[in-house]
Amino acid sequence: MKKVVVLLVCAVVLLVGYIVLDKSGIELPSFDANKAYKQGIAFHKNKEYDKAFELYKKACDGGEMLGCTILGAMYEYGNGVEKNEQKAAELLKKACDGGEMFGCGTLGVKYEYGNGVEKNEQKAAELYKKACDGGKMLGCYDLGVMYSNGNGVEKDFSKAVELFKKACDGGKMQGCGSLGVMYECGNGVEKNEQKAAELYKKACDGGDMLGCTNLGFMYEKGKGVEKDFKKAVELYKKACDGGNMLGCYGLGDMYVGGDGVEKNIKKGIELYKKACDGGNMHGCFNLGLMYAFGNGVEKDFSKAAELLKKACDGGDMHGCYNLGVMYANGNGVEKNVKKAMDLYNKACDGGEMHGCYNLGTIYANGNDVEKDFSKAAELFKKACDGGEMNGCRSLDLIYRLKVNE
């Protein structure tokens, strides 16, 4: 089985949720409100949420805005009180309006995803900017994400770079990692893989596990650093142990391929499963292939189809394409060419050129669909332009057939 290595670089990951126990840069209100807040923290740490809730409410009512922020978080997650996202938003707004910048950033998250408020990415960007301008580096980072993706603001890689750098310089390690992505891809800055590796290392050393994963990939491929499989394994393991599922996936690949570690397909499968269960769709895809080919496990097309569907539904276009193949052949699922076509089309639209080619082949051959050479040529051209050589060959064949008509 061909080893598939996919690294989520050139795409920035948003950290949802704010750490709200830091009081740096916040002017303290009256002693009683601050005392209630501090007592609430003590109970909160002991998971005595009912008592903590009462004290945070007293603090918030007394003018301690950080108490309002944490009270909002308790409503958000249902700690010590019935979960109520609308009430959480109200409290976060009160905190933000009162100058508590973590409240602004957290409220921004709610607007970005539409939790307890109507989704409004422009409003989210405004709140992240307010938090950033108020000295909260996570706000700078999140605003950088918005500029990088063009959500709520016009896409601007240069602005994203500026914000990631500010976050990184201010101690927010996610900013360092994302700045590394910009250097690796050459987005908003001149491409510099050595600089990217340095930034990933800074992020990794500072506790950002995605930075460890990305640095592991650099060592695996010899990008910006000398190729070193053992170092890659070490970094993937650190990331995986730290909860980054992409690191588990990468480590699984190393065990399956025997790169930098003794080959151990069983261990690789365990890591793919861990990654898949943790929400990494590439892990689901690779695990599905292991079941489809009987590599390290008993061949099981039904299990393979189940895993490929999970991968596809989670946005892995390789999963969609391969699931389409299973429907086209009736492996693990009832044969259904229409379903296969839908999956090939989804994969094609998502950038998986094999999907474009297979869909073109169905139109060219008229398999359970009316033969349509024009549609087939269109799909073969897309596949060819995307680097799928079979698409180029098939497109050439169609042109030859038309010439000889």
Q: What are phi and psi of 331, to 5 degrees?
A: -100, 110
**pLDDT of 14 over the 50 cut:** no
Taking CA atoms, 154 is separated from 75, 87, 104, 181, 392, in Å, by 33, 31, 21, 19, 36
**Angle, in degrees to the nearest 10, between helices 209-221 and 193-205:** 140
Span 347-372, pLDDT tens digits? 999 999 999 999 999 999 998 899 99
Measured over all CA atoms, what is the biggest interatomic distance in the chain, rounded to whole angstroms? 91
Answer for the pair 43, 52: CB distance below 8 angstroms, yes or no: yes
Answer for the pair 362, 341: CB distance below 8 angstroms, yes or no: yes
Span 152-195, pLDDT tens digits? 999 999 999 999 999 999 999 999 999 999 999 999 999 999 99
Span 190-214, pLDDT tens digits? 999 999 999 999 999 999 999 999 9
What band does 404 get if pLDDT is binned at 50, 70 and 90? low
What band does 399 get if pLDDT is binned at 50, 70 and 90? confident
220/382 Cα distance (integer angstroms)? 31
237/240 Cα distance (integer angstroms)? 5
**pLDDT of 400 over the 70 cut:** yes
373/360 Cα distance (integer angstroms)? 8
**Angle, in degrees to the nearest 10, between helices 281-293 and 317-329:** 30
31/195 Cα distance (integer angstroms)? 48
Percent over 90 (pLDDT), the chain: 88
| Greater model confidence, 2 or 108 | 108
- Supply 76's token pair: 């958000």
Cα separation of the two ends of the chain: 41
Taking CA atoms, 95 is separated from 65, 66, 81, 120, 262, in Å, by 5, 7, 19, 19, 54
Residue with tokens 């500029």: 147
Average pLDDT estimate for 90-97 = 97
The pLDDT score that the predictor gives to residue 405 is: 53
Answer for the pair 286, 252: CB distance below 8 angstroms, yes or no: yes
Residue 290's nearest CA partner among 311, 268, 274 is 268
The pLDDT score that the predictor gives to residue 403 is: 53
Residue 26's nearest CA partner among 39, 8, 38 is 38
Span 117-161, pLDDT tens digits? 999 999 999 999 999 999 999 999 999 999 999 999 999 999 999
Q: What are phi and psi of 62, to 5 degrees?
A: -90, 0
Cα atoms in the Cβ-side hemisphere of radius 13 Å centred on 84: 12
Mean pLDDT over each residue of the chain, to the nearest integer: 92
Q: What are phi and psi of 310, to 5 degrees?
A: -60, -45
92/56 Cα distance (integer angstroms)? 13
Q: What are phi and psi of 64, to 5 degrees?
A: -85, 100
Let me know if 53 is exposed, middle or buried by CB neighbors in 10 A (0-12, 13-18, 19+): buried
pTM of the model: 0.85
User: Which amino acid belongs to residue 286?
Assistant: N
Residue 234 contacts by C-beta under 8 Å, 6 or more apart in sequence?
Answer: 216
81/51 Cα distance (integer angstroms)? 11
20/52 Cα distance (integer angstroms)? 14
What band does 21 get if pLDDT is binned at 50, 70 and 90? very low
Question: What share of residues in the chain are helix, strand, coil (percent, to 5)?
Answer: 70, 0, 30
For 223: left if phi > 0, alpha if psi spans -120 to 50, otherwise beta; the answer is beta
237/234 Cα distance (integer angstroms)? 5
The pLDDT score that the predictor gives to residue 337 is: 96
The pLDDT score that the predictor gives to residue 45 is: 93
Residue 304 contacts by C-beta under 8 Å, 6 or more apart in sequence?
Answer: 288, 289, 291, 292, 326, 331, 332
Span 246-300, pLDDT tens digits? 999 999 999 999 999 999 999 999 999 999 999 999 999 999 999 999 999 999 9
The pLDDT score that the predictor gives to residue 2 is: 38
